[in-house]
Structure 1
Amino acid sequence: MHKLVATLLILFSLNTSLLSQSQISIEDFTLKNAFNVESVNSVNWMKDGQFYSALEDNKVVKYDVTTGLAVEELVDGGALSPSLKIDDYTFSDDEAKILLLTDRQSVFRRSYTAVFYVYDIATKAVSKLSEGRQAYGTFSPDGSKVAFTRDNNLFWKDIASGQEVQITSDGKRNAMINGSTDWVYEEELYLTKAFEWSPDGQRIAYYKFDESLVKEYNMQVWHEGQLYPEDYRYKYPKAGESNSVVNIFIYEVGANRSVKADIGTEADIYIPRIKWLKDAKTLSIQRLNRLQNQLDILHANTSTGKSTIILTDKSETYIDFTFCDDLTYLEDGKTFLFSSEKSGFKHFYLYSLSGEVVRQITNGPWEAVSLAGVDQSAKTPVLFYTSTEESPMERALYRIDVKGKNKAKLSLDKGWNRVVMTTDTRFYINYFTSATQPQKVTLHQSKGNKLVKVLKDNAALAKATKDHGFADKEFFSFTTSQGTDLNGYFLKPADFDPDRKYPVLLYQYSGPGSQNVTNAWGGGHFFWHQMLTQKGYIVAVVDTRGTGGRGEQFKKLTYKQLGKYETEDHMDAARYFGRLPFVDISRIGIWGWSYGGYMSSLVLFKGADLFKAAIAVAPVTTWRFYDTIYTERYLMRPQDNAGGYDDNSPITHADKLKGNFLLIHGTGDDNVHFQNSVALQDALIREGKQFESFYYPDKTHGISGGKYRYHLYTMMTNFIIDNL
């Protein structure tokens, strides 16, 4: 009797606790911003290393690094004449002027046009940079000039005299681009500004893209109230098709003339990065072949354009282009740092200026993920970098000298650390999260790793998630039928009962080098997933073979056959879930977006007896429709590897659909074209398959803005409730 009473009291207490928690609504995370994550944005480290600035409430505010306190309001956009809404800003090197970016209008994901103003801190004078709209305004090193692009041409302006000089004149939409990049460079190489001032301010190196051979993609745009739709055409190189022909020019400001850099005779290449050496006489050019399995570093003479190959890194699969950002020339003028996966894991190496390997600096069965900074004040320079040394699901900050000695871990807490470091490496801002800790932003002194101040603790968010009964990540791992250990986590209902049977929705992205299973707070569509747990679903997340953090062999196993191993792993995940006593094996679903939508489609079709339902948002349905750089990096060209393109296309397996399928796409998706979903729908219809589909008029890959996300999550919620 006493046991019964005790049990009833426990159940009553549990139910009371659950009732006291607020239920998560779709409005909360789409319209009300109830779970806002506070951060420190647009950070600029000041020249002397004692101050940094940040953009807050339309003001550029200067902070003392040693105290973390605001010491000066450098510019107030609202108080200027004319009043300006500041979207971003940059300082001149001497910090006497600020270039204010206003009225930013996106072109594609990262590209934009804007209206720029030059603000003089001493005189408080503000002046418009130029007429019309520009992009990528950049001060010269001495702060006397600003270079920018407009209408596919490159310009510079002398601030004092107002003289504006047009460097190129052949720019034309969908034909020739100077100083900025084409669509595929922007999307896949993360490069938009395609020019760089020399350290002495006497030259500007810039890219020229000849798009004349690239085929156009056409989208119709349905503007509200417009009688006829508008055709929108832009250059998009699909796998196996012609790319832009890219060249590098070096413009001499005083002589008003350009020299073409020698980048070799092969035109079908990529130039992922350029970088000036400190002597201003040499331009470093990184050259990647079309199949992206050979990277060359060239040094070009800025007067003649003549170049020499300094270093070549080759791979039997592909070179990860993100390594290009690790290239760092040291101040001794004799050595440079670069990274490679030639040991099987990404690590940093020291090279002589002639390209000879001096030594491998970091080493071990873990990834040296990113270079945060290099302290060159000491006799032996010191690297600061983030690493997976303790766990592939974590990132921690380390330091090590260029001799590969005196390694020390600086991160204090286990989880995910992202670091923004001062140029002199004396201080850094750490953006930290863990599975149980929303983002915490802290300011540190590197020497002694001293905490200076907590800048943002997101206490309000932590309280909101507690009040709404957010589920904690419950990590797990399992061994697949092929003997591979995979990582995952569950989000379970707050009133989880191990004796009940629950439906499971598997969320994944699965793309090469990606990671969803991390010891970090949140994740993709986290708030929606939390809401689903309150409706009685278990949400699972799994990282398959091909994802990142676990070395080259694990990541590059999917080379030439995207979709094959990832599908096998998700099918094994469903079998693993089915063996768990609390899972309803007849109610397992899967969903994803983009690459994740590709996977959820393929997994539902090929795993028809394992999965009851799937949602695919903006999926690739055949890699023949996707762009050159991304697709050929992992699959080669379709001319070279037709089976790799077709064997694991959802279109090929449309006849296998048995479960419930929801297909969603934006008609204005410039990245993964609506064409993908049209082709898949056509294949399913021809096979006599019933399914649900929805399109969002004029929406891009992210399907955002207004009430679109509210509508999307509402539709997906209803589909899950009705079909899983």
Structure 2
Amino acid sequence: YSTDSAVTLAAFALYGELYVTDLRDDRTSKLETGGAVIDPRLSPDGRNVAYVTGGALHVQDLATGADRTLAAPESGTVTYGLAEFIAAEEMDRMRGYWWSPRGDALLVERADEAPVQTWYIADPANPARPAAEQRYPAAGTPNATTELFVIGLDGSRVAVPYEQEYLTTADWDSHALSIVTMSRDQRSLRLYRVDPVTGASTLVREDTDPAWVDVFSGVPAHLDDGSLVWVAAHEGGNRLFVGDRAVTPPTLQVRDVLGVDHDSVLFRASGGDPTEIQLWTWDGHSLLPVSTRSGVFSGRMSGGVGVLTEQTLENEGVATTVVLRDGMSVPIPSVAERPGLDLRVSIGRSGRRELCTAVVLPSWHEPGSRKLPVLMDPYGGPHGQRVQARQNAYLESQWFAEQGFAVIVSDGRGTPGRGPDWDRAVLNDLATPALEDQVDALRGVAEQYPDDVDLSRVGIRGWSFGGFLAALAVLRRPDVFHAAVAGAPVTDWRLYDTCYTERYLGHPDEQPEVYDSSSLFGDAAKLERPLLLIHGLADDNVVAAHTLRLSSALLAAGRQHSVLPLSGVTHMTPQEQVAENMLLLQVEFLKKALGA
């Protein structure tokens, strides 16, 4: 949803319909539109609401109901006001237009997918149904072309040119119209200030890195005095900058900026313990901790009001509190269902690199009573953190533990919270460090729990990057891992998208050997352990071709394996019945393979 600047109105879409709620009297109105509504956003003055339908950007006058098209696509591959696939999938940018502070114009993205190759996602369960066409920018292939325009409510249009491949974000506040762009190789990130009248841009700062430059949410922003709020890697840490000065130490790893209110900045960061994500503020003079307990915290701050969320290992679910202008705290009760599991998790460090590791044991297990088969349950990839100081992070792992496993969750090199150098340890190799760290964590846990884990019965499961890691484990380290369940695995990085893959592995035409060493096909003949591949046939992120091609390579090498295709399922499995039965099938497979 979105609000006006006075927070008197809220606009939202529900099942493609547009609604506006007057927050002063709780009155909600449904507005008539020309089609299914995406991303409605109120103007700051509350007079208009913009939205996208059919790839066109519309603006509706709330007083008169007059609805007009501000920008219409010139062809079927063009959209106005929407983030293109790569921006939404890999840069956390979910929007494609931004209101001016006065509400008289918008900065609008025009995206054209014509250069992007077309892939076809078929539904084998329904052969009469045509395959769905999808524009997918695989590594080394063209991205969508993007342009920016300042479009006035009076119909005026001013182009805002920029040179670099990616538009990572934009912001338009009372101080500046700002855009942030990034080069295709992601080693240069530029912040520009734009003149909305002429479209001319002035470079404010450029961050460079020989590996890659990270994109952080919540910036750019400005304090009341116009000082720039920014986050960048500097002197070994991801640091908060106000103006030209880093105001956080290198030991405090800033995750993102949540809000800027007058002269204060609310942000999240991890200190000595990466499993905790704490709330902090910069008040213009000093750093102040907002959260003081162990856990994972988040929130928002605007107009002197804060909304804070808290997740801990001691309490179930998410606790939400509203902090009013007078300092009064109002808790928002949760209506979420209880998970029905008694969590039994121990978090610590494991292995030579002191990997953040969680050990999840069955609630009924008596320490030292017997050795349990082990189930490694990682994600293990860049920007994906599994080991966190909150209960919700381990519910599925606890369920697997209740089936008779000692479950180990460990975050290796490349996972967030431990600084830029740790993140960049996976440059040019997404396989070796990830696998080494899982082995390291396993052996470290075995030293800590010698009477509770059985290293002769070790399984591994994972989804997406975790699926890649699970398959990799049994292919390259069958001496350690005895069975694997690989869900929606990336098996050849040439088949994954441009932005994510090229960040870590470069361009496939320039470094083919890097892609080969991080992919699985070359290891197919090595398989000697049970492997279950699971893939949704409607997956439009990690397409089913990954699993099908690996299966073909395994078959060509005469290696026995199992494949579970999921008809009508995309990258994740939101269907309750499918998700439940898939968990049961995984347990059955692992117990049979490990003799559990």
Shorter-chain TM-score tier? over 0.9
* Matched residue, 1:710: 580
TM-score by length of structure 1 reads 0.77
Cα distance, 1:95 vs structure 2:
4.9
* Matched residue, 2:218: 325
1:369–1:387 Cα contact (<8 Å) kept: yes
Identity %: 26
* 1:624 to 1:180, Cα distance in 2 relative to 1, 3 A: same
Match of 2:408 among 540, 543, 547: 540
Task: Check if 1:167 corresponds to 2:70.
Answer: yes
SS at 1:565's partner residue?
A: helix
Opposite residue 73 of structure 2, the aligned amino acid is D
Cα distance, 1:124 vs structure 2:
5.0
* 1:430 to 1:164, Cα distance in 2 relative to 1, 3 A: closer
* 1:535 to 1:203, Cα distance in 2 relative to 1, 3 A: closer
Match of 1:473 among 330, 345, 348: 345
Gaps of at least 5 residues in structure 2 are: none
The equivalences for 1:488-499 within 5 A come to: 488-493=357-362, 494-499=364-369
SS at 1:221's partner residue?
A: coil
* Matched residue, 1:102: 14
1:429–1:441 Cα contact (<8 Å) kept: no
* 1:633 to 1:227, Cα distance in 2 relative to 1, 3 A: closer
Distance 2:84 2:373 in 1: 45
Match of 1:560 among 425, 428, 439: 428
Cα distance, 1:134 vs structure 2:
2.1
Cα distance, 1:180 vs structure 2:
0.7
* 1:385 to 1:94, Cα distance in 2 relative to 1, 3 A: closer
* Matched residue, 1:108: none
* Matched residue, 2:529: 659
* Matched residue, 1:209: 111
TM-score by length of structure 2 reads 0.93
* Matched residue, 1:461: 338
1:440–1:458 Cα contact (<8 Å) kept: no
* 1:451 to 1:720, Cα distance in 2 relative to 1, 3 A: farther
1:510–1:544 Cα contact (<8 Å) kept: yes
* Matched residue, 2:174: 278
- 1:74-114 CA-to-partner distances (Å, cap 9, x unmatched) read xxxxxxxxxxxxxxx544445554434221xxxxxxxxxx1
Task: Check if 1:722 corresponds to 2:578.
Answer: no
Cα distance, 1:193 vs structure 2:
2.3
Task: Check if 1:307 corresponds to 2:226.
Answer: no
* Matched residue, 1:415: 295
Task: Check if 1:434 corresponds to 2:312.
Answer: yes
* Matched residue, 2:283: 401
Cα distance, 1:720 vs structure 2:
1.4
- 1:436-477 CA-to-partner distances (Å, cap 9, x unmatched) read 3213424254899x6724333689738x43xxxx24212232
SS at 1:721's partner residue?
A: helix
Cα distance, 1:131 vs structure 2:
2.6
Aligned length: 590
Task: Check if 1:182 corresponds to 2:84.
Answer: yes
* Matched residue, 1:296: 190
Cα distance, 1:196 vs structure 2:
1.0
Distance 2:412 2:381 in 1: 9
Opposite residue 550 of structure 1, the aligned amino acid is R
Distance 1:96 1:360 in 2: 36
Q: Relative to structure 2, which stretch is displaced further, 439-448 or 652-661? A: 439-448
* Matched residue, 1:8: none
Opposite residue 53 of structure 2, the aligned amino acid is R
The equivalences for 1:445-594 within 5 A come to: 445=323, 452-456=329-333, 461=338, 464-465=340-341, 470-480=342-352, 484-493=353-362, 494-523=364-393, 526-577=394-445, 579=447, 580-594=450-464
SS at 1:341's partner residue?
A: strand
The equivalences for 1:67-82 within 5 A come to: none
Opposite residue 292 of structure 2, the aligned amino acid is L
Match of 1:229 among 106, 113, 129: 129
2:400–2:407 Cα contact (<8 Å) kept: yes
Cα distance, 1:640 vs structure 2:
2.2
2:92–2:217 Cα contact (<8 Å) kept: no
Match of 2:231 among 320, 339, 364: 339
Cα distance, 1:140 vs structure 2:
1.8
Task: Check if 1:693 corresponds to 2:571.
Answer: no
* Matched residue, 1:262: 161
Cα distance, 1:418 vs structure 2:
1.8
Opposite residue 59 of structure 2, the aligned amino acid is W
2:357–2:441 Cα contact (<8 Å) kept: no
Cα distance, 1:188 vs structure 2:
1.2
Opposite residue 288 of structure 2, the aligned amino acid is A
Opposite residue 247 of structure 2, the aligned amino acid is I
Distance 2:276 2:252 in 1: 11
SS at 2:468's partner residue?
A: helix
Cα distance, 1:699 vs structure 2:
0.7
Distance 1:123 1:656 in 2: 64
Distance 2:367 2:173 in 1: 63
SS at 1:550's partner residue?
A: coil
Opposite residue 594 of structure 1, the aligned amino acid is S
1:366–1:392 Cα contact (<8 Å) kept: no
Distance 1:698 1:416 in 2: 34
1:188–1:630 Cα contact (<8 Å) kept: yes
Task: Check if 1:364 corresponds to 2:250.
Answer: yes
* 1:374 to 1:177, Cα distance in 2 relative to 1, 3 A: closer
SS at 1:167's partner residue?
A: strand
1:336–1:350 Cα contact (<8 Å) kept: yes
Larger Rg: 1
Distance 2:331 2:571 in 1: 36
* Matched residue, 2:36: 133
* Matched residue, 1:9: none
Distance 1:508 1:124 in 2: 46
1:262–1:305 Cα contact (<8 Å) kept: yes
Cα distance, 1:320 vs structure 2:
1.3
Gaps of at least 5 residues in structure 1 are: 1-88, 104-113, 352-356
Cα distance, 1:642 vs structure 2:
1.5
- 1:200-256 CA-to-partner distances (Å, cap 9, x unmatched) read 111111011122111011111357xx66122100211000000111111111222x1
Cα distance, 1:412 vs structure 2:
3.1
SS at 1:619's partner residue?
A: coil
2:350–2:440 Cα contact (<8 Å) kept: no
2:229–2:241 Cα contact (<8 Å) kept: yes
* Matched residue, 1:650: 520
* Matched residue, 1:24: none
Distance 2:476 2:59 in 1: 56
Cα distance, 1:368 vs structure 2:
2.1
- 1:140-179 CA-to-partner distances (Å, cap 9, x unmatched) read 2222222111211212222333333222233433x21211
SS at 1:645's partner residue?
A: helix
Match of 1:350 among 210, 218, 242: 242
